[in-house]
């Protein structure tokens, strides 16, 4: 069963730590008030992220995203907390112009950050620890997508989108201006990607540039394209950031992760780790050419003698296990650290003494932080229940952000003895009166008689004498997990506060249960996970008597939306209604229309025209004749992962068959619904649909 993480404040803790500890004690003694937690409440919450510990370990810098709901616009600010003194965290005044990606200089005297305060493009600025005034560091003609400052403080490396064959910024500016000036709108492509995630390819590539910093810490002279002529992107697309590259401890070079685009960019996962000198004296060098699978996120040991990076082993498979490779930079010799540890590392960092590598990974429904001994490979979990989203290494320990099914992200720090202590929360006040739905993890025998885990979340203000309608949530990926984590898109607490019990099953294919468990779904989209969902539903309804199995709806997005469409024709008996968000309707058409072809080709065992694949074996479009249950379809126009035609085809099939159905269409959303007011509308339509078919009377409606 999910338990609350016990928090103990250290003797020298800050006022922030003591305040939240006392607040927690007060809440434990006071019965929760029946406040209904709504989608608007969730969309309006401040969001904490990106903790960075100062070099001396005294402070932690972090970002806070604040939503202006009426304006439908978010603003970023930087905050700082003193980990030793008794004082509340403070917002840096430079945040008034917008500030994010706060980074410490090596000496701890300067804070660098990103902002669009000057001229509208995103640039790098700097301030001191007080954060009163800002000095502009870069003045590039394009947005700075990510940056890092060399340890010696003499160079800044920035990511900029340029045409890779251009010799200078003026060349890229000229080409972009020419495109804007012409009346002709046609675009010619001769290779994929034509579009990726939610953006059409404009021919530019993200390149790293090294800029000299003058005595005042301002970029001067002409920047050096460290990837000159390189046909690839760093930061990587579509979600890359400064974790894709690192500067060597001696401040002489950069090491980065990138994939050569070429003609096969859309169907290869062959990202490599590359190196280049900061002075531009040599071309990039491929350090991992021997591995044709995914290599990512290099980080150096403090002394610079070793580097670690994450690596997959199977080309073409994006959900392979990320092992940790340690490389001797002098000899080039490599070894896998903890090769028998059957978890996939999400992020890694070295300890200050170089003896430990810290890593985050999903582990049986929890997102944990682990310590791995570099010499022996021994693995130890540093956190328990919850989901670590980010962390940083300080001289006295770790500071990390963690969330759970009952809490948005908060900051914690590890202590020499005892459990971690909470340092900062940005949502305590907003959530103090919320009655949470209590989560509980369960397990049962699923496909192949193997253990499968799931979560149930009880309705808020739960009454054991009542029976409750059920929202049966199916996660996407499919190599993913709902886990004990907080989501701003599919949050079970919204359903729990609307009067629903929530059931979620981590079917075969889910992550955090070993690589064999994850592998089991490939070429088996419609049988093994369906069996798990069926057995999980049977187990949950037998174990939890408060579930009203006669008033249940199944909901999912992405692969979860695919499964809803598959369920519609293969297991529709238990459900009063269905909700499909950006789900696959026709797997064969999906194989031609999606942008990242490696995904559909791996999952179906080849291209759509090859024999022996599963495109038609588990194709929802072939079972439309059995669709009878009311279904809500949600689709974003900018979704290039599962293109809009898939959603339109689903709705057309439902309408043509006369099945009660609705289409919720967002012209300005991608695979996710991200805009605050759109999110609230999404939740209203979904909950109204569930209420209509289950007869639920929503609290507070």
pLDDT at 11: 28
Mean pLDDT of 289-318: 98
Catalytic residues: 558, 639, 671
pLDDT per residue as tens digits for the range 642-671: 999 999 999 999 999 999 999 999 999 999
Question: What is the structure's pLDDT at 120?
Answer: 87
Q: Find the mean pLDDT for residues 447-469.
A: 98
Q: Which domains does the chain have, with CATH numbers?
A: 439-694 (3.40.50.1820)
Residues near 3 by beta carbon (within 8 Å), at least 6 away in sequence: 385
Residue 16 pLDDT greater than 70, yes or no: no
Q: For the chain, give the percent of residues with pLDDT over 70.
A: 95
Q: 79-88, 171-180, 514-523: which range is least confident on average?
A: 79-88
Kindly calculate the radius of gyration of the chain based on its CA atoms and give it in whole angstroms. Answer: 25
Residue 215: helix, strand or coil by DSSP? coil
Q: Which residue is it, tokens 């759970």?
A: 404
How many other CB atoms are there within 10 angstroms of residue 317's CB atom? 21
- The mean per-residue pLDDT over the stretch 81-109 comes to 95
pTM of the model: 0.94
Strand (E) or helix (H) holding 308: strand 306-311
Q: 386-408: per-residue pLDDT in tens? A: 999 999 999 989 999 999 999 99
User: What are the DSSP E strand ranges found in 155-290?
Assistant: 155-162, 195-196, 199-200, 205-213, 219-225, 245-247, 253-258, 272-277, 285-286
Mean pLDDT rounded to a whole number for the chain: 94
Query: So what's the pLDDT on residue 507?
Result: 98
* Average pLDDT of the segment spanning 555-577: 98
- DSSP, collapsed to helix, strand or coil, labels residue 440 as strand
The pLDDT of residue 87: 84
Q: What is the mean pLDDT of residues 246-268?
A: 98
345 versus 701: the higher-pLDDT residue is 345
Q: Which residue has the tokens 């569930």?
A: 690
For residue 290, CA distances in Å to 284, 295, 306, 340, 373 come to 16, 11, 19, 22, 26
How many angstroms separate the CA atoms of 655 and 75, rounded? 41
Mean pLDDT of 101-122: 96
* Distance from the first to the final alpha carbon of the chain: 31
- The b/e string for 489-506 (b: 16+ C-beta within 10 A; e otherwise) is ebbbbbbbbbbbbbbbbb
What pairs with residue 160 in β-bridges?
A: 207
pLDDT at 34: 65
pLDDT exceeds 80 at position 30:
no
pLDDT at 2 over 60: no
| pLDDT given for residue 12 in this prediction | 32
CA–CA dist 446, 456 (Å, integer): 17
Mean pLDDT computed over 176-184 = 95
Taking the C-alpha atoms of residue 20 and residue 431, their distance in angstroms, rounded to an integer, is: 13
Q: What pLDDT is attached to residue 33?
A: 52
CA pseudo-torsion sign 13, 14, 19, 24: negative
Q: In angstroms, rounded to a whole number, what is the distance separating the alpha carbons of residues 33 and 636?
A: 37
- Long-range pairs, 125-132, Cβ under 8 A, ≥24: 125/94, 125/99, 126/217, 127/92, 127/94, 129/54, 129/59, 129/80, 130/92, 131/78, 131/80, 131/92, 131/93, 131/94, 131/95, 132/92, 132/93, 132/94
Instruction: Decide: helix, strand or coil at residue 7.
Output: coil
Q: How confident is the model at residue 24 (pLDDT cuts 50, 70, 90)?
A: very low
- pLDDT value at 193 more than 50: yes
For residue 135, what pLDDT band results from cuts at 50, 70 and 90? very high
**What is the mean pLDDT of the segment spanning 118-122?**
91
pLDDT on residue 472: 99
Residue range 153-164, pLDDT digits in tens: 999 999 999 999
Instruction: Tell me how far apart the alpha carbons of residues 141 and 175 are, in angstroms, rounded to a whole number.
Output: 13
559-570 and 528-543 helices, crossing angle to 10°: 80
Return all residues near 556 (Cβ < 8 A) that are at least 6 apart: 473, 474, 475, 476, 562, 563, 564, 579, 580, 581, 583
Task: Give the side-chain half-sphere CA count within 13 A for 355.
Answer: 1
**Whether the predicted pLDDT of 560 surpasses 60:** yes
Is residue 689 over pLDDT 70? yes
Least confident range from 9-18, 233-242, 392-401: namely: 9-18
For residue 22, pLDDT beyond 90: no
pLDDT of residue 368: 98
Output the pLDDT for position 7.
26
Cis-peptide into 291, omega within 30 deg: no
């Amino acid at each position: 069963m999910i338990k609350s993480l016990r928090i103990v404040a250290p003797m020298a803790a800050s006022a922030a730590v003591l305040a939240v500890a006392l607040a927690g004690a007060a809440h434990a003694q006071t019965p929760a008030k029946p406040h209904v937690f709504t989608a608007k409440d969730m969309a309006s919450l401040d969001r904490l992220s990106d903790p960075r510990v100062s070099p001396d370990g005294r402070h932690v810098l972090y970002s806070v995203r604040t939503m202006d709901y009426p304006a439908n616009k978010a603003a970023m600010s930087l905050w700082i907390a003193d980990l030793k003194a008794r004082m509340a965290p403070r917002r840096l005044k430079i945040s008034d112009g917008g500030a994010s990606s706060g980074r410490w200089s090596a000496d701890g005297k300067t804070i660098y950050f990103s902002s669009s305060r000057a001229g509208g493009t995103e640039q790098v600025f700097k301030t001191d620890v007080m954060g009163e005034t800002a000095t502009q560091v870069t003045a590039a003609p394009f947005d700075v997508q990510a940056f890092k400052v060399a340890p010696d403080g003499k160079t800044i490396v920035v990511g900029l989108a340029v045409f890779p064959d251009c010799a200078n910024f003026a060349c890229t500016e000229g080409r972009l201006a020419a495109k804007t000036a012409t009346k002709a709108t046609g675009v010619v492509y001769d290779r994929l990607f034509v579009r990726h995630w939610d953006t059409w390819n404009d021919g530019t590539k993200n390149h790293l540039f090294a800029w000299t910093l003058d005595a005042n810490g301002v970029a001067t002279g002409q920047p050096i394209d460290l990837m000159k002529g390189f046909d690839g992107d760093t930061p990587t697309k579509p979600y890359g950031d400064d974790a894709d590259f690192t500067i060597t401890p001696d401040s002489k070079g950069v090491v980065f992760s990138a994939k050569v685009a070429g003609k096969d960019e859309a169907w290869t996962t062959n990202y490599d780790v590359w190196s280049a000198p900061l002075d531009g004296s040599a071309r990039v060098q491929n350090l991992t050419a021997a591995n044709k699978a995914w290599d990512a996120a290099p980080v150096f040991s403090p002394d610079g003698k070793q580097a670690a990076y994450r690596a997959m082993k199977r080309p073409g498979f994006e959900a392979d296990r990320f092992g940790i490779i340690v490389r001797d930079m002098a000899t080039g010799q490599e070894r896998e650290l903890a090769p028998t540890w059957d978890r996939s590392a999400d992020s890694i960092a070295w300890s200050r003494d170089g003896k430990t590598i810290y890593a985050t990974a999903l582990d049986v429904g929890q997102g944990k932080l682990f310590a791995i001994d570099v010499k022996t490979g021994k693995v130890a979990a540093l956190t328990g229940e919850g989901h670590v989203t980010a962390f940083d290494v300080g001289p006295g320990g770790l500071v990390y952000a963690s969330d759970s099914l009952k809490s948005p992200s908060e900051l914690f720090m590890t202590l020499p003895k005892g459990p971690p202590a909470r340092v900062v929360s940005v949502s305590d006040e907003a959530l103090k009166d919320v009655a949470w739905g209590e989560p509980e993890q369960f397990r049962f025998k699923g496909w192949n008689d193997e253990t499968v885990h799931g979560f149930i979340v009880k309705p808020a203000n739960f009454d054991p004498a009542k029976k409750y309608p059920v929202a049966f949530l199916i996660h996407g990926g499919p190599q993913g997990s709902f886990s004990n984590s907080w989501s701003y898109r599919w949050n079970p607490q919204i359903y729990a506060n609307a009067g629903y019990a929530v059931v979620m099953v981590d079917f075969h294919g889910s992550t955090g249960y070993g690589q064999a468990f994850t592998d089991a779904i490939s070429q088996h989209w419609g049988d093994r996970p369906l069996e798990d969902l069926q057995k999980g539903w049977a187990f949950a309804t037998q174990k939890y008597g408060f579930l009203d199995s006669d008033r249940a709806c199944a909901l999912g997005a992405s692969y979860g939306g695919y499964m809803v469409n598959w369920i519609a024709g293969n297991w529709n008996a238990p459900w009063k209604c269905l909700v499909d968000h950006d789900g696959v309707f026709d797997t064969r058409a999906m194989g031609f229309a999606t942008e990242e072809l490696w995904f559909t080709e791996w999952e179906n065992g080849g291209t759509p025209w090859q024999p022996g694949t599963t495109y038609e074996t588990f194709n929802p479009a072939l079972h439309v004749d059995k669709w009878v249950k009311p279904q809500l379809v949600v689709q974003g126009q900018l979704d290039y992962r599962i293109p809009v035609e898939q959603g339109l085809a689903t709705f057309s099939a439902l309408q043509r068959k006369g099945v009660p159905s609705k289409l919720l269409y967002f012209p300005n959303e991608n695979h996710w619904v991200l805009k605050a007011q759109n999110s609230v509308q999404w939740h209203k339509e979904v909950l109204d649909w569930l209420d209509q078919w289950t007869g639920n009377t929503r609290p507070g409606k």
